A and B are shown apart, each in its own frame.
Chain A
Amino acid sequence: MEITEKKNDKCTLIGIDGRLDTTNYSVLEKKLMELIDTGQSKLLVNLSEMDYVSSSGLRILLMALKRITVAKGKFALCSLQPNIKEIFEISGFTNIFEIYDNEEAGLKAF
């Protein structure tokens, strides 16, 4: 898994490339918590290149959402692959997360 980070005037754009599972979720956890701790409470996560996510990965996304909500920021996801979207549906996450079809739509929301 690879994580990319781009900053623009509205928010920080995070890209996740590859599998997000038990063996590597801590890398993402560290990254996101670092951003939140340094006061960046506006995050858009682009999941177009993420082809697998396990419950451990979902847990990190949920944690990030909870922390940013408390900090009165904004946390959104965009460009989910169909399989991934199905997992989000099964787990009920589609109800909790703000999910946009593409990055453009996501950026507009900020």
Chain B
Amino acid sequence: MARKKKKEKKKIEKLRLGFRSLAFRYSIFFSLAIFIVFFIYFIITLTYSAVMVTNDTRKDAKTLAELTISRLENALVRVEQMPVVLGRSLEKPSPDYYEILRILQGIVVEDPYIYGACIAFEPYSYVKDSLYYAIYSYENPKGLRTKYLGNYYNYFTKDWYRIPKETGKPAWSEPYYDLGAGDTLMCTYSVPFFNEIEGKQVFRGILTLDVTLRSLGSIVSKIKVYESGFGFLISREGMVLYVPDSSFINQNILDIAEEYKNKRLATIAERMMEGKSGFASFHGFRSRKSSEIFYSPLATTGWSIGVVFPNDEMYANLKDLVLYLLGAFGIIILVVFFVTVLMTRRLTKPLRRLVRITHQIGHGDFDVEIPKVKRRDEIGVLAKSFFDMRNHLQNHIQKLQQTTAEKEKIESELSIAHTIQMGMLPREFPLRSEFELFAILDSARAVGGDLYDFFFIDQDHMFISVGDVSGKGVPASLFMTVVRTLYRSRTMDGQPMHQIMSHINKELCKDNPNVMFVTMVSGIINLKSGLVELCNAGHNPPLIMDREGEVRRLSLFSAIPLGIEEYHGYKTEMVQMNPGDRLVLYTDGVTEALNANNELYSENRLMEELKESKSADVPTLVKAVVDSIYKFAKGQEQADDITLLILGYQKSSSHIEAPTKMKQLQVLNKLEELHKIVETMEEISKDWNISSKANMEINLVLEELFTNIVFYAFPDNREHKIELTFSLFASGILQITLVDDGRYFDLMEAAEEVKIDAALEERKVGGLGIHFVKQMVDEMNYERKAGKNIVTLTKKIK
């Protein structure tokens, strides 16, 4: 018990809610809320930043591109302006060779982007007999060189010559790889020049300026965006003029796009070739990096410049931002979590204490101290009402315990009273051959008002009585005890019945403030003659049933109950019982038992029921009647005590004479007890002068009977008593009775005839005992009475 309590206490102390605690849940809740807010903030910030970065980068790219374009344009415009400055001297009718040389060399030296310059004349226009006339000056690492191209180089069909000649306007050629001239990728700006002859402008030839793309590419190569962002340049036809990876130079961008299956690049390239400008995104065809591109055309040449910048580099700074934000974010959530935990634990501390106290109170510990909570919030109110509840409960339980204790006390008193009252009723019914007696009292409540009684006044006279005390419970029980004491003391004086009753009446009236009374039928029966003196004090009249089952009511004079009127007279009436007659005494609990239809059991039914079982012995008859009452009143609560007493009278058939000598012996149902019987027989044989032969024969019989009882009578394996009575009559007859309360067993019925003449092979090993018994006594009688086996042996010994 103490151990269990300890265990419970431990359990209470161990009360840890863990993840289910308020503190934890609130913390999770708040942290979650903050997480959501931060997350939204984070997304917005990131998106905004990304847009900003993208815009900035685009702006930068555009600026870079435009800057580069203007640089390129500057270079190209300078190239374009060169002939405008120099053209005049060429428009003279015939400039001399040196002048041409000076012009050409001046151009090459002056302009860093110009690699070479050439003047090509129309057929026969400079020298009359020369079809071709072209002079080309160019720079190489060794210095300035000049070539005369005239005799072997048919330039009239070349684009740089033909197109400006036909259009009459300067033109930029597509980039080309000129093996003949500079051995480098170049573009040529061709300008036609004219002579005025007779007021007409006559086409004289073409001035060309070769611009190496290497020099222009150095301008584009200055484009740097982040780490790996770069610029590139393509011609109007899609020829790559410059890109940092020189292996792509001089290839067509559309071919590259096709080779790398990059449709997006092809689309972008087409738009660039159309001279459009704008932003686009694509994946690098080698790095597969997601990148942005800005493209824009050059007005002069129709080329297009592209600026490429990879996104990851663009967003590199954003990564830092994200990390920074996440870090701050994590710290804030942790702080919020712990602060909430601490706050909630502080807030719920009284609650947790209340939980522990509730446990203790739940286990009956009302003396547990409830700490004062000074707070004025809900928890304070709860603590206060908890305190009140504890006090109310404590009071209530104290009251309850008191009430229960009182009730238990009363019940235990009642139960003691019941035990005493039941103890007053004689339970051992006499076993006599002259009469049978049996009674049942079944109380409706713990302590009832009914009683029955019987006792021997002397050898031949017996007192019997059945009564009913007014009221119930302890007072009725006490009153009954008084009544019993009175008639018991009076009866032994040998007074007639009516005097005994009058005496009891007077005594009861003397000191009876509560006016309790008792109805009673009492009688004294002479067991020899069957004559009964009866007196009725306001009780149900007795019944008599004869051998044939004829039942009649004894119409006695019925006086008023005892205890009411001090000087009331009572009357004794004599009734003669014949052998086989049964005298039936009962209380009103029998006849007034109610069934479900509110019908009375009634005297008639009682008479019928008696008649029904007329041939049964008395105990069986009593039980049968009481059972019929239960059956009748089935399902109804028993309202009153039920008492039934029946006395059966029969004249004793034999040995009316009293025995001269008598000896009684009680043994237990154990084989070891046999020696007691042997010793008693030895003693009797000596005292009563019984021959050793007769002694041995009786010994044999008793041993058989005793052994039989021990082995077969008691299946319950409990200890039982076996009573032996030895009686010696003057006529020289020895009578021995054996009484046991075992199960029904008639030895004679069970016995098998033993063939004493049989040969050895047929002789059975058992069965000899009964044979002895039959041989060795003169008479043997078996009776079953009141649940007992009675065997009477008779043997003439003298």
Contacts and interface: CB of A to CB of B under 8 A. Distances in A.
B696 A52 contact: yes
Interface in A30-63: 51-52, 54-56, 58-59, 62-63
B674 A22 contact: yes
A23 B675 contact: yes
A87 B759 CA distance: 17
Nearest to B675: A23
B700 interface: yes
Contact of B765 (A54, A59, A95): A59
Given A22-B674, A59-B768, A96 B759 contact: yes
A83 B700 CA distance: 12
Contact of A65 (B700, B758, B760): B760
B704 interface: yes
Interface residues on B, range: 20 to 34
B700 A66 contact: no
B674 to A, nearest CB: 5
B692 interface: yes
Contacts of A65: 760
Given A62-B765, A69-B760, A91-B771, A52 B699 contact: yes
B707 interface: yes
Nearest to A86: B693
Contact of B756 (A63, A69, A92): A92
Nearest to B775: A90
Given A21-B674, A83-B696, A66 B760 contact: yes
B760 A22 contact: no
B362 interface: no
Contacts of B699: 52, 54
Interface on chain A toward B: helix, strand, loop, or mixed SS?
helix
Contacts of A19: 678
Interface in B758-784: 758-760, 763, 765-766, 768-769, 771-772, 775-776
B703 A21 contact: yes
Interface in A85-101: 86-87, 90-92, 95-96
B674 A62 contact: no
Contact of B674 (A23, A58, A83): A23
Contact of B772 (A22, A23, A91): A91
Interface on chain B toward A: helix, strand, loop, or mixed SS?
helix
Contacts of A52: 696, 699
B671 interface: yes
B681 to A, nearest CB: 11
B760 A96 contact: yes
A92 B700 CA distance: 16
Contact of B703 (A22, A62, A69): A22
A95 B693 CA distance: 22
A62 B763 CA distance: 9
Nearest to A89: B756
Contacts of A91: 754, 756, 768, 771-772
A88 to B, nearest CB: 10
A54 B692 CA distance: 15
Interface in B646-689: 671-672, 674-675, 678
Nearest to B691: A83
Nearest to B696: A83
Nearest to A21: B703
B448 to A, nearest CB: 49
A19 B766 CA distance: 19
A98 to B, nearest CB: 11
Contacts of B675: 23
Contacts of B678: 19
B757 interface: yes
A90 B772 contact: yes
Given A55-B704, A66-B760, A96-B763, A23 B672 contact: yes
Interface in B437-472: none
Given A55-B768, A91-B756, A91-B771, A23 B671 contact: yes
Contacts of B769: 54-56
Interface in A8-23: 19, 21-23
Contact of A54 (B693, B700, B757, B771): B700
B791 to A, nearest CB: 17
A62 B769 CA distance: 14
A77 B307 CA distance: 144
A63 B765 CA distance: 7
A47 B759 CA distance: 23
Interface in B722-771: 754-760, 763, 765-766, 768-769, 771
Contacts of A59: 765-766, 768
Given A22-B674, A22-B703, A23-B672, A58 B768 contact: yes
A36 to B, nearest CB: 15
Contacts of A56: 703, 707, 769
Contacts of B693: 83, 86
16 contacts: A21-B703, A22-B707, A23-B674, A54-B700, A55-B700, A55-B771, A56-B703, A62-B765, A86-B693, A87-B696, A87-B700, A91-B756, A91-B772, A92-B757, A92-B758, A96-B760
Question: Which 10 pairs of residues, A with B, have the shortest CB-CB distance?
Answer: A92-B756, A55-B768, A55-B769, A96-B760, A54-B703, A22-B707, A59-B765, A90-B775, A83-B696, A23-B674
